[in-house]
Every structure is written in structure tokens, then in C-alpha cells.
Chains A and B, each alone.
Chain A
Amino acid sequence: MADVRNGIATRAGAMILAPVGWLANLFDAPLRMLQRRTGSNGMAVFFLAPNMLVFGIFVLFPLVINILYSMTGGGALFLGDRTFVGADQYGRLFSCGSYLDPKSCTEDLFWIAVWNTLVFVVLQVAMMVAVALVTALVLNRELRARSFWRAVFFFPVLLSPVVVGLIWRWILQRQGLLNLMVFEAGGTPVNWLVERSWAFTATIMVSVWAHVGFYSLILLAGLQAIPKDLYEAAEMDGTRPLRVFWRITLPLLAPNLLVVLVLTLIRAVQIFDEVYVLTGGGPGTSTLFLTQYIYEVGFASMLRNPGLASAASILMGAVLVVLTLIQLGIARRNEQRGKMR
């Protein structure tokens, strides 16, 4: 019976794969000819070309254009119509009495955005990783309706950032849901989006709420990949739970944590959409982050300044590249250490 079943499966497999084989054979002769003419290096170029073409058109070309824009001035949109100004836009961004005091800078809003982004990144990344880790640890336990809880935590990830911003705006505005609850509980309503510290805190909380499900999922996958026998051995040895966490869970989860850290960091530096809808960068400039600054200078203000916006975006991109390289370096070092052990 099993032989018959295997035979049917084999025949079905062969039928499905037949067109693929036929297609492969179709290209076989021309590819062999190409290989004879170009050698194996030429073939590598041939196979990489489509990918490089897409990368070139959609990544490299815009990057080069952006760099060129950052070296031009004027209000015209097309590069050919713009005046070459060299490094003037960068000079304008870096013209500061003290980088620690944005008021002393020519482009004070840029430096306010830089410092706001820095503080946001530090706090948001720390909170995101911590909350994602705790959530993953909880969801990894034998809970009742575990799939339901996993879905609950993942659901906000499916929402558009604009929807996230609007939902929380309705909750946090002066006459929003939160103040209604505060009032019902006998408290004094707070203007959450107008008080500087509350508004900044709100941007962190909302962005963590919106994305933590995704990062928890990555960590949950890492937790489930840790061999169970390690925990069983620790239990037999009577190891305390905290020690199990520090000695087994955390080291074995480190690669996943690093992935989460890299992704969170990049996403935090790029924060824009939900914050733009939630606070519009206010109160004052207390939640004005770098991407919003670039957007406003380049697109939203009536007298657009694409040169300055491009220069700011190049600087932001450079910071992201450096951060990513540092983290990849750390990851590589950890990997090598692991191999040596």
C-alpha cells in the first residue's frame, strides 16, 4: 500500500516538475554557449545583472541624485535648473556656536530634531527591546488561548501608521478617552498632547505599542529554537529561574536580540508617520524628529528647499550606515567568539 502511495507521489512530483525541467533545457544550450564565450566570471555578472539593474535604478540612482541635490540651491525642482552651491547646505546645517545648544545654530530646527531623535532612539529602543522580550517570554509559556494572545499582540502591527496615530490622538486629546477615564476616576484631566513631557512620552509609548508585536514574534521564534533539554538539565540541577534566564535564555537568544536591536534602531531613527499624525511635531518642537524636519523643509513648506532637505537626509543616512556597521561588527565578533568556544 505504502509503495503504491509512494509511486503516485513520485509520478505527481515528476508531472509538476516536468515543465520546469523543460524550461531549464530550453535555456541550457544558449547558456552553455554564453559560458563558453564569457567564462565563469562573465556568467556571474550575467546572473547578477537583473538584480543589480533593479538595485541601480531604485536605490543607487536615487542616492546619487540625492547627493547631487544636496550640493545645489534654489527653489527649482529639476537638477538641471538648480544652482551648484558645493557644500553650502552642509555648512548651513553645521553652522553652530555649540552643537549642544540648538539656539546657537543657523538651522536650529535641524539640531532640535537631531537631539529629539537621539533621545527618542535611546528611550524607545530600550523600551521596545525590553517590552518585546517580556512579551515573548510570556507568550512562550503554556498559557490558555496562547494563539489568541499572540494575535492580540501582533494585531497593531497590521495597522497603518496613520490609523495608529489617529486612534491614539482620539484617546489622548483633551476630550479624549483617557481624560474621560481620568475624570470618571475623580482625577484632573491632562492635556497629554500639549504638555511637552507627556507628548514626548506618548510618542514613545505609541510607537512601542504599534511595533512590539513584530519584534516579539522574532524573539518568540528564537525562544522556541532553544533546545528544551537545556532547561530540563537546569531544572534537574535545581537552578533558580533568574539564573536560567541569564545563563541559558539570554545567551542563546542573543542573535535574535541583535536582529531586533538593529531593526528597532533603524526604525526609531526613521520615525515619522504615526508621530506626525499624533503630535505634528508639537508641542512647540518637542516631538519634531529628523524625518519630519526633512519632510517639512523639502516638501511641506511653500518655499521648498530640496537642497537643504537632501543634505539633512544624507547625514541621517550616514548615521544609519555607521550604526548598522557597528552592530554588524559586534554580531560578527560574537559569532567568532562562539566558534572559538
Chain B
Amino acid sequence: MRMNSIILGLSAGLLSSTAFAGDVRVMWYSDGVEGEVIQDLLNRFMKDNPGINVILDNVAYKVVQEQLPVELEAGRGPDIARVTNIKELADHWLDLTPVIADPAYWQTNFGDQFDWMRPDGSKIIPGFMTQITLTGSFVNKTLFEQAGVPIPADTATWDEWIDAAGKVQQSQQLNAAFAIDRSGHRISAANISYGANYIGGDRLPAPIDAGTKAFAEKLVNWVADGRMNKEIWVSASGTTYRAGADDFINGQIAYYYSGSWQVANLASKIGKNFDWVATGSPCGTAACTGMPGGAALVAIKYTKTASEVGKVMDFLGREDIVREFTERTLFLPAHKGVLAGKIDYKTDDENVKASLEAFLKASGKIAPNAAALPAWKWGTPVYGALVTRISQVMAGELKLDEAFARIDEDIKAQVAEASK
């Protein structure tokens, strides 16, 4: 009798930690307030669909980047996940076509980005972009005004921007004039503005070209002359990501190159400390482009509750829900219907409104070479090699020519390894 009680207790314990039929587990990371917004939306969904229990696992971005791929390789993982390395993991996404109510609606409204998240040549519907991001710059207007330096025009080049920020640095005795996030994705926008093209004729990575070399040289020189914040790029090795947002938030730099996803973060942390605005991407010799990207909500093909997953995705992909999510999170939407209508961002902050308008405007100036990259599977090794080797040049470990040779070798080796 006693043994039976123990077995019963153990069974109950095991069951409590196991997913029930009808459970849908969502792995989610947040840059700003989107975790709270999605939880609110999901609560509403569960109220209308009492048979489906959606469990939102809010995790660190690093978990999505490092642990999710391992789980997926093992044929496990959540039922739905919010991810940014969309193309690399495309083999693990579920085709939602049979489980969503109206595939044509999805095709019409989210179809432009499907190739970003499915294997080359595939026609599946794997999910939708929760936000479209675009790299771009932010200016501390107050510092520029105090320094008496006019903010450069939309058509200003990288050199003109850095010269202007350098004048602010000198006038306001700042530690550095500007910062760029330590990310190959970020500098790729500038590389492409100087004419870079990463994609070779065979869709494999092309050797790095004059465009990439031109901007890499500028970066190294800006670190050497003290205008670019050395800490962001030099104080780490390998592909480690470092953002320069804190320096901008603390008023220690006049100019910051990052992306649209920073808007909510800057708004909440800067508050009324100073005026700031987004200004799109500076120009190079070939374009004035930012890099598009974003975070997708995708269904995982190892789910055991595909029909419930379909219902959750249908709900979250609804135009009114996407609109509410966009307005509350201050993101740029991917949904065509939402983009076509008026977006009433829920903020009184004029800096935010102006910045979002600037990013929406800049999204019309994306160069074809930049637009092609989110759907290209070899982007990641290129970004990684760029960051690793250019940082070494900044730290004085390599010469530029050596770094360029290493970048090509690193990319070639990674592609060869992944193709085995």
C-alpha cells in the first residue's frame, strides 16, 4: 500500500513537469517591453481558447542563440520560438500551411520575408517576422547643439558624420565621438554603402572586395585617432557581441550606429535627459543603406501539438494583433496591411516618434546587396570573420592586409566545414 502511494506520488510529480496535450510552449527573448506585451496578448488568446495552454518561457537572448540550436539538433525544443538566426536553422521550422486557417492571408501579408526563414527553394510557411529591423544611427541632438555643430544632412557620408561627431567630441571633451556595435551585421551596412557585395556568383561567399576593405580601413583609423570608442570593439575577442548603447544613453558619445530595435531601449533609459533622434544610415560611395533583419516567430517541426500551434500563430499573425503589438513595442512591423495603415505608436516621446519615422523612411533606401543578405545562408560566417579580424587590427595584432587574407580564409574554412 505504502509502495503504491510512493509510485503514485512520483508519477504525479513527473506528470506535473511534462507537457500536457494542448500545451504550447513558446521560447521568447526580449530587447524591451515585448515580453510583457506578448504575455498580455497570449492571456487574451487563452481566455478565448480555454483548451489551449500557452506557456511563455522568457529567456536570455544567449539561450536562443546557443541552447536552442542544440535542442533543435536533438529533435526537441519549444513549439514556437522567437529567433534571429532564422536562415541558419531553417531546416527545423514547421510548415504551417496545413494548420493555419488562411495560408493566402499569410502569403499576402508576410510573404516578402518567407525566404529569410526557409531553406533555399522551399515554399513552406514557417512563421512571421515579429519585427523588421533596420540598422541606422542615433544622434545626441543636445550635444550637437551645445557644441554648435549642425547635424549633417540625410545625404551626408560616413566621413562627414564622423567629422561632425569629432567636432562635438572636442567641444564637449567626450571620451569618444561615436560608437558602432561590435557586430559584423552592423558594419555590413556601411560596407555595402561603399560597394561591397558578399554573395558570389555561385551563392557562396565572394572574396571580400574593395567596398569592405575601404570601410574596414576607415574603422581602424577612427579607432586609432580616438574618435571611435575603442572599448566596444577592442575589449573582446572572437565574435562576442558588444553594444554601444550604454555610452550613448550616458551621453558619452555624440553619435551611435546600431538599429531600430534600440528605439524603445533608448526611450526608456534616456527619458528627458537629452534630445536624440535617429538619422538613418550615412552614405558611402555606392549607397546610403542600412541592413534589414529582424526577429521571427517560427513554429518548430518537432512539436506534438501542431494544430494548437497553428491556432496560436493565426492569432498572433492577425492584423489587429500585429498592429497592437507594433504600437505597444515601438517596433517596425512586417505585416503589409499594418504597414499600409496608420500606426499609432503608444508613446508621448517626440524623440521616439521622430526616430521611428526616420527608420520607416530609411527602409525605402535599402540597397539590393543589403536586401539580399537576410535570405542568404552564409551571412553569419562572413559577419563573424569580419568582427574577429578587424578587432585584431584595432588591437594592433594584425595589419589590415593580413586581416583581409584571414577573413577570406576563415570564411572559406567555415563554409568547407559546414558543407562536409
A residues touching B (Cβ–Cβ < 8 Å)?
A: 73-78, 83, 85, 103, 106, 108-109, 173-174, 191, 193-194, 196, 199, 279-288, 292, 296, 299-305, 307-308
What separation, in Å, do the CA atoms of A199 and B231 have in the docked complex? 12
Contacts of B419 in A (CB 8 A): 74
How far is the CB of B43 from the nearest CB of chain A, in Å? 34
Whether A300 touches B66, Cβ cut-off 8 Å, given contacts A74-B420, A194-B234, A284-B237, is yes
Q: Are B417 and A305 in contact (CB under 8 A)?
A: yes
Whether A296 touches B238, Cβ cut-off 8 Å, given contacts A75-B418, A301-B384, A303-B417, is yes
Taking the complex as formed, is B224 at the interface, i.e. its CB lies under 8 A from any CB of chain A?
A: no
Q: Are B392 and A284 in contact (CB under 8 A)?
A: yes
What separation, in Å, do the CA atoms of A108 and B384 have in the docked complex? 16
Q: Are A282 and B391 in contact (CB under 8 A)?
A: yes
Q: Are B418 and A74 in contact (CB under 8 A)?
A: yes
What separation, in Å, do the CA atoms of A288 and B234 have in the docked complex? 12
Q: Are B70 and A77 in contact (CB under 8 A)?
A: yes
- B65, B380, B397 pick with most chain A CB within 10 angstroms: B397
Q: Are A77 and B73 in contact (CB under 8 A)?
A: yes
CB-nearest residue of chain B to A75: B418
What separation, in Å, do the CA atoms of A296 and B410 have in the docked complex? 14
Contact residues, B233-251 vs A (CB, 8 A):
234-240, 242
Contacts of A193 in B (CB 8 A): 231, 235
At the interface, is chain B mostly helix, strand, loop or mixed? helix
Q: Are B235 and A280 in contact (CB under 8 A)?
A: yes
Whether A284 touches B391, Cβ cut-off 8 Å, given contacts A296-B239, A301-B384, is yes
What separation, in Å, do the CA atoms of A304 and B239 have in the docked complex? 12
Whether A301 touches B238, Cβ cut-off 8 Å, given contacts A77-B73, A85-B420, A174-B175, is yes
Q: Are B420 and A280 in contact (CB under 8 A)?
A: no
Contacts of B357 in A (CB 8 A): none
Task: Choose from B175, B395, B420 the contact partner of A283 (Cβ within 8 Å).
Answer: B395
Contact residues, B194-243 vs A (CB, 8 A):
230-231, 234-240, 242
CB-nearest residue of chain B to A169: B235
Whether A284 touches B231, Cβ cut-off 8 Å, given contacts A77-B73, A103-B402, A299-B66, is no
What separation, in Å, do the CA atoms of A281 and B236 have in the docked complex? 5
What separation, in Å, do the CA atoms of A70 and B380 have in the docked complex? 24
What separation, in Å, do the CA atoms of A280 and B381 have in the docked complex? 20
Contact residues, B394-413 vs A (CB, 8 A):
394-398, 402, 406, 409, 413
Contacts of A191 in B (CB 8 A): 230-231
Further pairs besides A284-B396, A300-B238: 8, Cβ < 8 Å: A75-B418, A106-B413, A173-B231, A285-B395, A285-B397, A292-B237, A300-B239, A302-B85
Contacts of B409 in A (CB 8 A): 106
CB-nearest residue of chain A to B409: A106
Q: Are B240 and A73 in contact (CB under 8 A)?
A: no
Taking the complex as formed, is B414 at the interface, i.e. its CB lies under 8 A from any CB of chain A?
A: yes
Contacts of A301 in B (CB 8 A): 238-239, 384
Q: Are B239 and A285 in contact (CB under 8 A)?
A: no
Contacts of B402 in A (CB 8 A): 103
How far is the CB of A87 from the nearest CB of chain B, in Å? 15
How far is the CB of A112 from the nearest CB of chain B, in Å? 8
- B70, B234, B238, B413 pick with most chain A CB within 10 angstroms: B238
What separation, in Å, do the CA atoms of A292 and B402 have in the docked complex? 23
What separation, in Å, do the CA atoms of A295 and B245 have in the docked complex? 26
Taking the complex as formed, is B324 at the interface, i.e. its CB lies under 8 A from any CB of chain A?
A: no
- B230, B381, B417 pick with most chain A CB within 10 angstroms: B417
At the interface, is chain A mostly helix, strand, loop or mixed? loop
How far is the CB of B270 from the nearest CB of chain A, in Å? 18
Taking the complex as formed, is B327 at the interface, i.e. its CB lies under 8 A from any CB of chain A?
A: no
Contacts of B238 in A (CB 8 A): 109, 280-281, 285, 288, 292, 296, 300-301
Task: Choose from A283, A300, A308 the contact partner of B234 (Cβ within 8 Å).
Answer: A283
Task: Choose from B240, B392, B417 the contact partner of A280 (Cβ within 8 Å).
Answer: B240
- A76, A174, A283 pick with most chain B CB within 10 angstroms: A283
How far is the CB of A174 from the nearest CB of chain B, in Å? 6
How far is the CB of B173 from the nearest CB of chain A, in Å? 13
Q: Are A73 and B417 in contact (CB under 8 A)?
A: yes
What separation, in Å, do the CA atoms of A106 and B414 have in the docked complex? 13
CB-nearest residue of chain A to B411: A303
Q: Are A279 and B235 in contact (CB under 8 A)?
A: yes
Contacts of A303 in B (CB 8 A): 88, 380-381, 384, 414, 417-418
How far is the CB of B9 from the nearest CB of chain A, in Å? 24
Contacts of A106 in B (CB 8 A): 409, 413
Taking the complex as formed, is B74 at the interface, i.e. its CB lies under 8 A from any CB of chain A?
A: yes
How far is the CB of B187 from the nearest CB of chain A, in Å? 16
What separation, in Å, do the CA atoms of A280 and B235 have in the docked complex? 7
- A76, A85, A286 pick with most chain B CB within 10 angstroms: A286
CB-nearest residue of chain B to A89: B417
How far is the CB of B89 from the nearest CB of chain A, in Å? 10
Q: Are A284 and B239 in contact (CB under 8 A)?
A: no
Whether A285 touches B380, Cβ cut-off 8 Å, given contacts A73-B417, A85-B420, A303-B418, is no
Task: Choose from A83, A285, A287 the contact partner of B420 (Cβ within 8 Å).
Answer: A83
Contact residues, B32-60 vs A (CB, 8 A):
none
Q: Are B381 and A284 in contact (CB under 8 A)?
A: no
Q: Are A288 and B237 in contact (CB under 8 A)?
A: yes
What separation, in Å, do the CA atoms of A299 and B70 have in the docked complex? 9
17 residue pairs A–B, Cβ–Cβ below 8 Å: A73-B417, A75-B417, A75-B420, A103-B398, A103-B402, A191-B231, A279-B236, A280-B236, A282-B237, A284-B394, A301-B239, A302-B85, A302-B380, A303-B88, A303-B384, A303-B417, A308-B417
